[in-house]
Structure 1
Amino acid sequence: MPQQIEIETADGACPAGLHVPAIPSAKGVILYMDAFGPRPALSGMADRLADAGYTVLVPDLFYRFGAYGPFATDAFGNETSRQQLMTMIRGTTQAMTESDSGAYIEALTEAGVTGPIATLGYCMGGSRALVAAAAYPERVAAALSFHGGNLASDADDSPHRRAGTIRGRVYVGSAGVDNSFPPEQSARLAEALRSAGIDHMIENYVGMSHGWAVPDHSVYDVAGAERHWKRLLTVLEEALV
């Protein structure tokens, strides 16, 4: 079970789950949530990472909006919850998460994570993981995105524009068909990372749908999720040394 903590940020108190391994570890992971908020499915994933020997922090990126959900993973199918979700997503900017990530790293340090960390994100969290890696290159040794959206869009704050300040390894696992990360964005991100000299891999999970790796999604795929775990744990083992 995680410890429930509050992290003081520039904009208030951010609730977070802190998952500590049985044997204390100096290596940590920030798990950036998908659009539906912290919930048992993400907590279970963080527990699995803790069982593998990492201290894991799961912050609530939507804390500025006060109490909510979490949302069911079919929330976009309901007009009321879809509008609420979109308001919260648009109202939680990359700049906000970048600023908050400094406090997240500090919270991990206070928990004994004195070594390198990884940033890991799903869906909307995927772009946050890359932005945090660019903002805190001295601590982030790996950034991983699974079915992350808008990683190389036309927006001014698109993560690919920050590739030049990343120093850690980057892994991107994309769904086979995902309108939020189409082939042209994949190519643009690859070019940005290669031009910046970043050790990276962008892998296409053919046949998987957006959300396949998170167990409470309707599109969850057991084989695809285990493939994601294999890639994830390998990158962490190799990069967090």
Structure 2
Amino acid sequence: MKRSIDITASGGKVPSWTYTPDTGNFVKGAVLFFMDAMGPRPAMDAMAQKLANAGYFVLLPDLFYRFGAYGPFSGSSFGDPQSREKLVKMINETTTAMTVEDTSAFIAALEGEGHSGPYGVVGYCMAGRRALSVAAKYPESFAAVASFHGAGLAADTPDSPHLLASDIKARIYVGTASEDASFPPEQSTRFVDAFRRSGADFALESYVGVHHGWTVPDRDGVYDESGADRHWRRLLQLFDETIR
């Protein structure tokens, strides 16, 4: 069941949505769900609700809230030059540091809904690195973190999440496409090396034959049903084993 709420964060009011199981009231724990680059839309609703129906309280905040009303966008919006230009601007001007700062408000919102944690956090596309970064910033608040087709997870930038490996106490799962320009092989190697050296509890799994965005049902020509099902199995196993 979906419900709209507003969360007050550093940049203003954040339109957000909570999801609870459609049937039954048993909730195993709470999960922070970070959207992909096209923002909140029916595909994100469907994914968040599917996670909720597995027994979780899910919070999905609009990470682009600083731009006010925008879109609507869809999974194919990057194929339109005008939409792509707007989305790239929004992605670039909503920094990982902003999302990390805002997460204190998201955690407070989860607490306000009666969930004390520790929580799970999952991010898709641009939010994969954000999920890892918030797990590093709030290590006592997150028991599990997952990234799917995350971009720039071991980039040559000072805010790259692989530099935070030793700060993450949560169990980590990273699912990547075998060919993804946003996370090329050299970054994969750098990521694994950093997390292996840190002693973190992590797994990185390459999904052969899929492309960036394969988990999201409205990504025309990219969504892969078999790969998406596999991602759900991995995600639910991670949360079921870590969130109490």
- TM-score, length of structure 1 as denominator length: 0.97
Q: Which residue of 1 aligns with 2:140?
A: 138
Among the aligned pairs, what percent are the same residue?
Answer: 52
- Corresponding residue for 2:97? 95
Gaps of 5+ in 1: none
SS in 2 for 1:57: strand
Q: Secondary structure at the match of 2:59?
A: strand
CA distance change for structure 1 residues 4 and 13 in 2, over 3 Å: closer, same or farther? same
Residue 79 of structure 1: how far off its partner (Å): 1.8
Deviations 1:147-168 (A, max 9, x none): 0110000011111111111000
Q: Is the 8 A contact 2:117 2:142 kept in 1?
A: no
Q: Is the 8 A contact 2:29 2:243 kept in 1?
A: yes
SS in structure 1 at match of 2:99:
helix
Q: What CA RMSD, in Å, does the superposition of the two structures yield over aligned residues? A: 1.1
1:237 alignment partner, one of 226, 236, 240: 240
In 1, Cα distance between equivalents of 2:219 and 2:116: 34
Mapped pair 1:57 → 2:89: no
Task: Report the counterpart of residue 4 of structure 1 in structure 2.
Answer: 4
1:2 Cα shift?
Answer: 1.0
- In structure 2, C-alpha distance between the alignment counterparts of 1:69 and 1:175, rounded to whole Å: 27
Quick one: which amino acid aligns to residue 14 of structure 2? C
> What CA distance in whole angstroms lies between the structure 1 residues aligned with 2:26 and 2:13?
26
Runs of 4+ in 1 over 6 A off after TM superposition: none
SS at match of 1:131: helix
Match of 2:228 among 225, 229, 234: 225
The letter for the 2-side match of 1:30 is L
Shifted more, 26-35 versus 87-96: the winner is 26-35
**1:90 match: secondary structure:** helix
After TM superposition, the structure 1 stretch with the greater mean CA deviation from structure 2, 16-25 or 208-217, is 16-25
What is the distance in 2 between the residues matched to 1:82 and 1:45?
A: 23
Shift of 1:115: 2.5
For 2:216 and 2:114, the matched residues in 1 are separated by 28
Runs of 5+ consecutive residues of structure 2 not aligned to the other structure = none
SS of equivalent residue, structure 2 residue 151: coil
Secondary structure, in 3 states, of the residue corresponding to 1:55? strand
TM-superposed deviation, 1:20: 2.0
Q: Residues of 2 paired with 1:155 and 1:209: CA distance?
A: 24
Q: Indicate conservation of the 8 Å contact 1:144/1:170, yes or no.
A: yes
State the Cα deviation string for residues 27-46 of structure 1 (Å, max 9, x = none): 11111000000111111111
Q: Which amino acid aligns with 1:131?
A: S
Please tell me whether the aligned partners of residues 76 and 218 of structure 2 are also in contact (alpha carbons under 8 angstroms): no
Q: Does the Cα contact within 8 Å between 1:26 and 1:113 map onto a contact in 2?
A: no
List aligned pairs for 1:67-216, cutoff 5 A: 67-216=69-218
Q: Which amino acid aligns with 2:114?
A: G
Matched pairs, number: 241
